[in-house]
Amino acid sequence: MLNFSFQNPTKIHFGEDQIHLIAKEIPADAKVLLVYGGGSIKSNGVYDQVVAALADHTWFEFSGIEPNPKYQTLMKSLEIIEKEDIDYLLAVGGGSVVDGAKFIAAAALFEGDDPWDILAKQTPVEKALPLGAVLTLPATGSESNGNSVVTRDGDKLPFASPLVRPQFAVLDPKVTLSLSDRQISNGVIDAFIHVMEQYLTYSVNGKVQDRFAEGLLQTLIEEGPKALQAETKDDLEIRANIMWSATMALNGLLGAGVPQDWSTHMIGHELTGGFGIDHARTLSIVLPAVMKIKRKEKHGKLVQYAERVWHLTDTDEEVKIDKAIELTEDFFKRMDVPVRLSEIDITKDQIDGLIERLEQHGMTELGEHSDITLDVSRKILEEAL
Ligand code: NZQ
Ligand code: ZN
């Protein structure tokens, strides 16, 4: 196992009807900015619950944060923050709203010329407003990590800082019942791939991390499709297991002390930045191709994945790997997400543009061995056609 330091201070309130607890988590004298997205929280009753909980606080609101939050939209919030002297952010929504609130938290106290530098130049965040979250879409893990992804004119860039990790997060599985099938699928797939990117590398004998990862993968494979089926759709135990899996998938625990390979995400971000494809739907296309192209380097872990996650018993390891990749794609298809670029109408002649963008964004040495060069990314994209 590799050396690591681990701390995750986000306090989680998990379960039905916990939203009222935000009242005691946010300091009584705080001036709160409630930030949210396009309005789903108004139609599913979450907004009303939050407003009721904030009855004794001074609060303002900023809405309109779109999926794959845009820099220009987020920057508009700085006006009200300054005017009203806001000193606490409450994000209510999915990963885009939470990520957006994180950027706002850092941008509000940024002392350089342009907060975009936090993303484009990776200027370290020195100060940030404190924030909390009410999560409405289990997927990204953003509710208890320090990561955020922001888009500006097709450039979709990540930044990370412990200063933007939410202080608390409320996870009520009931609020996920209003999600569309597409968003349920996206969430399950995003979480699944977060686990894979911290697992499918090479063994450092991190038995705890491996077995946690395998448990999460099996849970998502078991519960994901049930959340789409009419008979089990409204089952809150299924929703709860998905929600907790998604948080655990990217709260820092799985990745501590093991190598990681975020190439699927980095290549996927270019598909979202360039073509507006949903985040998870880029990942379901790229991951199988990464598994195939990096099969040799990932051999040991692929065999372990085949045996422990899919319970394959073939004696020939290559057969086991073939079947495991096929079963992974089958699972993605059952979750109704694409597994090939052709399904989203992206053709070979568009790969050059994607490679150029990877180069512009410095994504030239991806993977656990930093050996996913632009040439290898090209092979991955060609494999995904
Ligand atoms: O905007 P509203 O009206 O709220 O609607 C949203 C949005 O249209 C809707 N929604 C959310 N909760 C709902 C709901 N609709 C009905 N009922 C509910 N309970 O769902 C739509 C998608 O929301 P979004 O927040 O965009 O989805 P997700 O949570 O998948 O977040 C995706 C973003 O997170 C980033 C992605 O790149 C993408 O920008 N990621 C963040 C990560 C992190 N911070 O660690 C890691 C991830 O890998 C990912 O990159
Ligand atoms: Zn993701």
Q: Which residues pair with 14 in a beta bridge?
A: 171
Q: pLDDT band at residue 56, thresholds of 50, 70 and 90?
A: very high
Percent of the chain residues past pLDDT 70, beyond the cut: 100
Q: Which run of H or E residues covers position 279?
A: helix 279-293
**Over 90: is that where the pLDDT of 178 sits?**
yes
Mutate to test the pocket of ligand 1, among 97, 183, 242, 266 (most ligand atoms within 8 A of CB): 183
Mutate to test the pocket of ligand 1, among 73, 102, 143, 149 (most ligand atoms within 8 A of CB): 149
Residue 116 tokens read as 């975009």
Question: Each residue of 157-176: pLDDT tens digit?
Answer: 999 999 999 999 999 999 99
Q: Which CATH architecture has domain 181-383?
A: Up-down Bundle (1.20)
- What's the angle, vertex CA 253, arms to CA 247 and CA 256, rounded to 5? 145
Closest Cα to atom 40 of ligand 1:
140
**Over 90: is that where the pLDDT of 42 sits?**
yes
CA gap 333, 214 in Å, rounded? 20
Average pLDDT over all residues of the chain = 97
CA gap 216, 272 in Å, rounded? 26
Give Cβ neighbours of residue 242 (< 8 Å, ≥ 6 apart).
138, 173, 176, 184, 187, 188, 191, 219, 220, 223, 224, 227
100 lines ligand 1 (CB under 6 A): no
Ligand 2 centre and the CA of 273: distance in Å? 14
For the chain, the domains span 11-174, 181-383
What per-residue confidence (pLDDT) applies to 377? Answer: 98
What per-residue confidence (pLDDT) applies to 129? Answer: 98
Q: pLDDT band at residue 154, thresholds of 50, 70 and 90?
A: confident
For residue 148, which of 200, 85, 97 has the smallest C-alpha distance?
97
SS3 169: strand
Give Cβ neighbours of residue 119 (< 8 Å, ≥ 6 apart).
71, 103, 150, 152, 155, 157, 158, 159
Q: What Rg do the C-alpha atoms of the chain give, in angstroms?
A: 20
Ligand 1 centre and the CA of 34: distance in Å? 17
Kindly give the number of the ligand 1 atom that is closest to the alpha carbon of 283: 48
Ligand 2 centre and the CA of 332: distance in Å? 15
Structure pTM? 0.97
Q: Which ligand is nearest to the CA of 148?
A: 1
> Is the CA virtual torsion 111, 113, 119, 122 positive or negative?
negative
The 8-class DSSP code of residue 60 comes to E
Give Cβ neighbours of residue 39 (< 8 Å, ≥ 6 apart).
63
Kindly give the number of the ligand 1 atom that is closest to the alpha carbon of 68: 39
Question: Each residue of 268-304: pLDDT tens digit?
Answer: 999 999 999 999 999 999 999 999 999 999 999 999 9
Q: Which residues pair with 91 in a beta bridge?
A: 35, 133
Average pLDDT estimate for 63-70 = 97
Other beta carbons within 10 angstroms of residue 301's beta carbon come to 21
Average pLDDT estimate for 183-190 = 98
Q: Dmax of the chain from CA atoms?
A: 68
Q: Which run of H or E residues covers position 206?
A: none
Closest Cα to atom 29 of ligand 1:
95
Q: Which run of H or E residues covers position 91?
A: strand 88-93
Mutate to test the pocket of ligand 1, among 19, 40, 198, 251 (most ligand atoms within 8 A of CB): 40
Ligand 2 centre and the CA of 279: distance in Å? 7
For residue 149, which of 209, 88, 74 has the smallest C-alpha distance?
74
> How far, CA to CA in Å, does 176 sit from each of 187, 224, 297, 341?
11, 13, 38, 29
Q: Which run of H or E residues covers position 257?
A: none
Ligand 1 centre and the CA of 95: distance in Å? 4
Residue 361 tokens read as 């964004």
Give the amino acid at 304: Q
Residue 225 tokens read as 């499709």
Q: Which ligand is nearest to the CA of 173?
A: 1
Ligand 1 centre and the CA of 42: distance in Å? 16
Kindly give the number of the ligand 1 atom that is closest to the alpha carbon of 99: 44
254 lines ligand 1 (CB under 6 A): no
SS3 6: coil
What per-residue confidence (pLDDT) applies to 260? Answer: 98
Q: For the structural domain made of 11-174, what CATH number should be given?
A: 3.40.50.1970
**Over 90: is that where the pLDDT of 37 sits?**
yes
Ligand 2 centre and the CA of 264: distance in Å? 9
Question: Each residue of 327-356: pLDDT tens digit?
Answer: 999 999 999 999 999 999 999 999 999 999
Other beta carbons within 10 angstroms of residue 266's beta carbon come to 21
Q: Which ligand is nearest to the CA of 278?
A: 1
**Over 90: is that where the pLDDT of 233 sits?**
yes
